[in-house]
């Protein structure tokens, strides 16, 4: 059976439980955002990302299941590879729900991609930017509310026979007794929750601009103070070295030399290599590394910083919020690429300086 069908087990929870669970998550995220603490906005972003992905997953897999079933008698609309990609990646679900399912607007699609970008930084690297994380949490909250409203009422299902406990659990969000119209309840709950949090903070555009400008200023200071770059060429070389190291090319090219080292230390079987054999392998490694480095073309250069600086003016003058969101996402992603290389280079230089100081001290 197709893997898509197997993953349908994730949706085996009762429909009412999924509906109530989504509302409870939105309520928790709302409470977190109303705090002035950046760390709580970070937690809200992680919760909202999880809920948005679940809501999109439900819609996506329903369409895929239907397509797989109909493939017995007609040509399927989606290949197995496409289904796998959409189910695996958040941004692919966003594109599918925008372009195919038509559940989210272009603006909300951009917001969800910003949410995904920041959630990954917060969840996987335990980092977040206090300058904008509150604004991003708030706009993500309202985008998720809109997605919840569209998906919860999509089938216009009505259920009779709610227990008293079920009815009372929904009281904070919407009015029901022993009957629930999911479409109506979703709209009422979304409106009620949405009123607690400003949809678009008045300073969101200026916070985006301040965020980019502040990070650019920090990188400018790093260029001279910790990276010791006097010219654009110096910075290009720094970025190239960092990108080359982070690419992991050295790991592949040094495999033969490492095997000899393992034989020397007895970690793998084999005779200890002769001095000539080891020198030949080392020279071969050096030549391959030089050739690989000389031919390596980094994606980030000093010109990347100039390009980001130029586009900040476009961000300041963007005519609509949708344009500002889209441009901020582009600038933020590009700037993160620069920051990763710069911080890696800074750590490498610090280690080299410390090693030199230890040598001079006779350690």
DSSP helix/strand/coil, 228:
coil
Confidence of residue 29 (pLDDT cuts 50, 70, 90): very high
Two tokens, residue 267: 């970690």
Is pLDDT larger for residue 13 or for residue 199? 199
For residues 257 and 281, the answer to whether their CB atoms sit within 8 Å is yes
113 close to 327: Cβ distance less than 8 angstroms: no
pTM recorded for the entire structure:
0.74
For residue 329, what pLDDT is reported? 85
Strand, coil or helix: what is 158?
strand
Mean pLDDT of 12-34: 87
Residue 227 has pLDDT above 80, yes or no: yes
Q: 151: which 2 tokens?
A: 């998906």
pLDDT of residue 7: 46
**pLDDT band at residue 1 using 50, 70 and 90 as cut-offs:** very low
pLDDT digits (tens, 9 = 90+) for 275-309: 998 899 889 989 999 999 999 999 999 999 999 99
**Given this model, what pLDDT does residue 4 score?**
43
Alpha-helical segments (H) within 195-320? 204-225, 232-247, 249-253, 255-265, 275-295, 302-316
pLDDT of residue 363: 55
User: What is the structure's pLDDT at 323?
Assistant: 84
Q: What is the pLDDT of residue 8?
A: 46
Q: How far apart are CA 281 and CA 35, in angstroms?
A: 60
Could you tell me the CA-to-CA distances from 111 to 29, 30, 180, 326 in Å, in that order?
16, 17, 31, 8
């Amino acid at each position: 059976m197709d893997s898509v069908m197997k993953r349908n087990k994730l949706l085996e929870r009762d429909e009412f439980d999924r509906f109530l669970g989504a509302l409870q998550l939105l309520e928790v995220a709302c409470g977190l955002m109303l705090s002035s603490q950046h760390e709580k906005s970070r937690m809200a972003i992680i919760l909202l990302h999880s809920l948005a992905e679940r809501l999109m997953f439900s819609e996506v897999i329903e369409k895929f299941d239907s397509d797989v079933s109909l493939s017995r008698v007609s040509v399927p609309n989606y290949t197995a590879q496409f289904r796998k990609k959409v189910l695996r990646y958040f941004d692919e679900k966003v594109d599918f729900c925008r372009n195919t399912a038509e559940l989210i607007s272009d603006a909300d699609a951009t917001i969800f991609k910003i949410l995904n970008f920041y959630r990954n930084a917060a969840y996987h690297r335990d980092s977040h930017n206090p300058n904008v994380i509150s604004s991003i949490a708030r706009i993500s909250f309202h985008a998720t509310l809109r997605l919840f409203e569209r998906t919860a009422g999509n089938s216009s299902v009505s259920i009779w026979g709610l227990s008293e406990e079920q009815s009372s659990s929904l009281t904070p969000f919407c009015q029901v007794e022993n009957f629930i119209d999911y479409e109506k309840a979703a709209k009422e709950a979304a409106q009620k929750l949405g009123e607690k949090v400003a949809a678009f903070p008045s300073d969101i555009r200026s916070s985006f601009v301040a965020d980019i400008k502040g990070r650019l200023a920090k990188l400018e200071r790093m260029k001279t103070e910790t990276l010791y770059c006097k010219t654009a060429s110096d910075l290009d070389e720094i970025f190239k070295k960092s990108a080359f190291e982070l690419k992991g090319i050295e790991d592949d090219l040094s495999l033969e030399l490492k095997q000899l080292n393992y034989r020397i230390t007895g970690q793998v079987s084999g005779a200890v290599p002769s001095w000539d054999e080891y020198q030949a392998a080392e020279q071969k490694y050096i030549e391959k590394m030089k050739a690989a480095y000389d031919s390596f073309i980094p994606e980030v250069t000093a010109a990347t910083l100039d390009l980001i600086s130029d586009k900040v003016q476009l961000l300041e003058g963007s005519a609509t919020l949708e344009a500002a969101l889209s441009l901020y996402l582009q600038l933020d992603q590009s700037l993160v690429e620069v920051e990763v290389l710069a911080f890696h280079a800074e750590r490498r230089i610090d280690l080299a300086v410390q090693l030199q100081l230890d040598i001079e001290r006779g350690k």
